[in-house]
Copies of this chain bind each other. A is one copy, B any other.
């Protein structure tokens, strides 16, 4: 069963390259043994740097299931998720993640996430992208608005 889902993810990744839609990556979201959403890398064709296969599949699964939480779903991805996709996986609270290629395989094909892993672990002031703190006190007003908003929906 798990092998059949992963085989489908890999075939989708290959087809994605042949069709010129983006990088060699695909992902499936599965609930109760059924595929509820499919995604492939659409970065270049949709001009969206966040359109990695996992993010696309998570967005579609949420739309399909009418929820912003996927805690009863598994993700099958043709390659180990990058830090952005890992963040998305945690926010969506997926149950399990199956992956085929590793970050080392991806790096060998020109997709090197290593730099991003390293940068995330640094404090903002030490990163290669300049990050500048500004008006921290003002931001507290937004958090206060949230804390005081009785109708807030937590996520």
Contact = CB atoms under 8 A, between A and B. Distances in A.
A101 interface: yes
A50 B155 CA distance: 12
Interface string A46-61: 0111101001001100
Contact of A138 (B66, B67, B100, B120): B100
A20 interface: yes
A84 B105 CA distance: 22
Contact of A48 (B68, B106, B117): B68
Interface of A: 2-3, 6-7, 10, 13-14, 17-18, 20, 22-26, 43-44, 47-50, 52, 55, 58-59, 62-63, 66-70, 78-80, 82-102, 105-106, 108-110, 115-117, 119-121, 124, 129-136, 138-143, 145-147, 149, 151-155
